[in-house]
Amino acid sequence: MEFLLINHPLDCPICDQGGECELQDLSMGYGDGVSRFTEGKRVVKDKDIGPLIQTDMTRCIHCTRCVRFGQEIAGIMELGATGRGEHMEIGTYVEHSLVSELSGNIIDLCPVGALTSKPFRYKARAWELTAHPTIAPHDAVGSNIELHIRKNDVMRVVPRDNEAINEAWLSDRDRFSYLGLNSAERIAEPMIKKAGQWQTTDWQTALETAVEGVKGIVAKHGPEELGGLISPTATLEEAYLFQKWLRGLGTKNIDHRLRQQDFADSQSDFSLNDWALADIDDSDAIVLLGSNIRAEQPIIAHRIRQAALSGATVSNINFFESDLLMPVQHQLAVDAKDMAYYTLAGIAKALTQANKEDAAEWRELLGERRPSPFEQNVALQLSNARNATLFVGDLINHHPQASVFRALAKLIASLSKTTLVILPTANSNAHLKAKTLPSENGMNTMQMWQSDLCAYVLMGVDPQMDTAIPDDARRALKRASFVVAINSFHSDVINEHADVILPAACFAETSGTFIGIDQQWQRFAGGVEPRGDSRPGWKILRVLANVSQLNGFEHISSQDVVDEIESEWNMGQKPASHDFIPESFSVTSDLMLISEVPMYRTDSLLRHSNALQQTPENKANDVARMNQQEADKRGVNHQLPVIIKQGENQISLPLEIDDAIADGCIYVAAATLASVAIGRMFGQVEITQAGPSS
């Protein structure tokens, strides 16, 4: 104890860890009351390791937990012990921000106050906080977390152990998103637009205006002219009441798949039964298809890494190569056209060669191709495995021809007895249960935006940032005669085109249910009062239904809603499933824009979390990337910005030469202010060099 304290400052009252410090506890329990050490203590300069983690390195006791976390869990060793003896220091040596998407966990690991949360620094003392268990809203696994609350403010978020889900870890995204709760952009009061001017009003008036407007449209133009779109981050209860209310008004146009562009395979059944996250640990072969898994689902990436370290083979097929921080056997960056036509079809073909009986209906489509060595290797990897898993990620799911890829993935999975996992977005599994999906002959997201309906009801949707074709969304809302937004945050498009804004409570402020990738229903209660005059979404929807004079909305608590969903689900017939078989594998060619929603921009709450927006990986988003060869071919270089043209839209971005990007592709992050102007995620684009600015 005395040795540990030789260089450790004894100023616990000014240390942010005070009150929750393992060293302080040990010292209290076993240490002496007085220090015999009278010599000078050493001082270590603090390091800047980014906007999320604050260092106070004089307090470090060299336990090297943070170093080993990097090595063993995050898979990226960024911190190390440099120097020796008295001069040993923990740091990055060359100052830089940590890039690990799990970096926040070292805050919990560090036994002393050397590594603490930067946004939380000096904000509160551990003993002033009350802990409230809840479920994290961003990763599609439903990480178990604890809100640390003082009065009515969420002061920080820490993980709760749950071996079946997040183990002891938490992604930075779910740890720091709470910072958005107190954003100045939060909507505090119900608002209605009168003669083009926004006015705050009371709930009653706002609700009545909303219902009158919507009902008016339905009466005048028919319910086909009403569309409802809800964000997949909404809770199960919100999703259920949303669709129940709108269906009660007669419309069939309901959807939550905001960024999906291809709905041809909506009859296919991709649901996973009896699959748990822990099954990843037992997989001995894992193939990632169109998923930048570390950014998309950090906790799943962590599980895959652990599987890879214990011997599973991993293959990665995407539009760009990425560093997965784990041993990868086969990696291929290929454009969409070749991915469908050669890679996936080739793997399928290689698998059918082993068993000629299989997949008769695909025979003609697959034709007489000869699988490449890569395709054969992946086929072997899957068919030789005892327990293989194929993950299909957002880059495929958001692709305009997603159905072709998913159909091939399904074929490959069934030929090789592989578990197919279509990665969900946030709480989208709950939305499938709650049926925030178009009814028969109803419109899906794309059709709703493209048909310029008369009225839209949006819940948690920022039409600019959360949609596949921001352009269509903007235009549709502009032309619509009535728009209701049940949102938590202001956004330009909503302010410009909505007629009624109903402020909804956010994560942490409402009770609800989260259904993660493994289909576990996790209930949680609200931890703090909703900001300002906002109300929990499920209550808003219930009252909207009451005001609309619909029956069956007598729910008193969100539990009542869940009970109803459960009984309906148990009684209801599972929809018949038809596997989608594409007519051909041809996917549009030429220079393709590939877009991915960056990790910290997937929903409004994240986009309002300042610390996350300050991270270097987030700031690196405002560039276009393509490989050297492609740039040469198109006659552009990185010295001047490039102009990317899609239809009538164009944006200008700096070009970064990045040889990880596949030939024929240009990568632009979606959901950023720079990229929304282009109008559509994915699709054909033209590129030219911008002239020197005059």
Give the shortest CB-61-to-ligand SF4 separation in angstroms.
5
Axis crossing angle, helix 373-383 with helix 402-415, rounded to the nearest 10: 50
Q: In 92-225, where do the E strands start and end?
A: 115-117, 130-135, 144-150, 153-159, 191-194, 197-200
Tokens at residue 323, please? 């560093």
Give the shortest CB-211-to-another protein separation in angstroms.
59
Q: Is 93 among the residues that bind another protein (CB under 8 A)?
A: yes
CA quadruple 568, 431, 288, 679: dihedral sign: positive
Q: Is 79 among the residues that bind another protein (CB under 8 A)?
A: yes
Give the shortest CB-64-to-ligand SF4 separation in angstroms.
5
Q: Is 82 among the residues that bind another protein (CB under 8 A)?
A: yes
Binds 77: which of another protein, ligand SF4, none (CB < 5-8 Å by kind): another protein
Dist. CA 596–CA 576, nearest whole Å: 32
Q: Is 101 among the residues that bind another protein (CB under 8 A)?
A: no
**Binding mask of the shown chain, residues 365 to 394, with x at each position contacting another protein by CB under 8 A:** ------------------------------
Helix H or strand E segment including 689: strand 686-689
Interface contacts to ligand SF4, rule CB under 6 A: 60-66, 90, 109-112, 114-115
Dist. CA 203–CA 287, nearest whole Å: 50
Binds 628: which of ligand SF4, another protein, none (CB < 5-8 Å by kind): none
CA torsion angle 415 416 419 421 (round to 10): -70
* DSSP annotation string for 272-283: --S--TTHHHH-
Residue among 36, 38, 45, 84 that touches another protein (CB under 8 A)? 84
Q: Which stretch binds another protein (CB under 8 A): 86-94, 108-116, 190-198, 470-478?
A: 86-94
CA torsion angle 384 389 395 398 (round to 10): 120
Q: Is 310 among the residues that bind another protein (CB under 8 A)?
A: no
Q: Which ranges constitute the DSSP H helices of 179-270?
A: 203-221, 236-248
Binds 94: which of another protein, ligand SF4, none (CB < 5-8 Å by kind): another protein
Beta bridge partners of 645: 650, 686
* DSSP annotation string for 477-537: HHH-SEEEEEESB--HHHHHH-SEEEEBP-TTTS-EEEE-TT--EEEE---SPPSTT-B-H
Q: Is 504 among the residues that bind another protein (CB under 8 A)?
A: no
**Binding mask of the shown chain, residues 59 to 78, with x at each position contacting another protein by CB under 8 A:** -----------------xxx
Dist. CA 546–CA 240, nearest whole Å: 15
Contact of 104 with 53, CB cutoff 8 Å? yes
β-strand 285-289 against 253-255: which pairing, if any?
unpaired
Dist. CA 124–CA 152, nearest whole Å: 13
> Of 53 and 483, which has the nearer Cβ to ligand SF4?
53
Beta bridge partners of 193: 198
Binds 520: which of another protein, ligand SF4, none (CB < 5-8 Å by kind): none
> Of 108 and 358, which has the nearer Cβ to ligand SF4?
108
Give the shortest CB-95-to-another protein separation in angstroms.
11
Give the shortest CB-81-to-ligand SF4 separation in angstroms.
7
DSSP state of 341: I
> Of 81 and 366, which has the nearer Cβ to another protein?
81
194 Rama sector, left if φ>0, alpha if ψ -120 to 50, beta otherwise: beta
Give the shortest CB-8-to-ligand SF4 separation in angstroms.
9
Binds 82: which of ligand SF4, another protein, none (CB < 5-8 Å by kind): another protein
Binds 9: which of ligand SF4, another protein, none (CB < 5-8 Å by kind): none
Tokens at residue 378, please? 């992946």
Residue among 4, 65, 92, 248 that touches another protein (CB under 8 A)? 92
Give the shortest CB-64-to-another protein separation in angstroms.
11
Q: Is 45 among the residues that bind another protein (CB under 8 A)?
A: no
Q: Is 616 among the residues that bind another protein (CB under 8 A)?
A: no
Q: Where does this chain bind another protein (CB under 8 A)? A: 76-84, 92-94
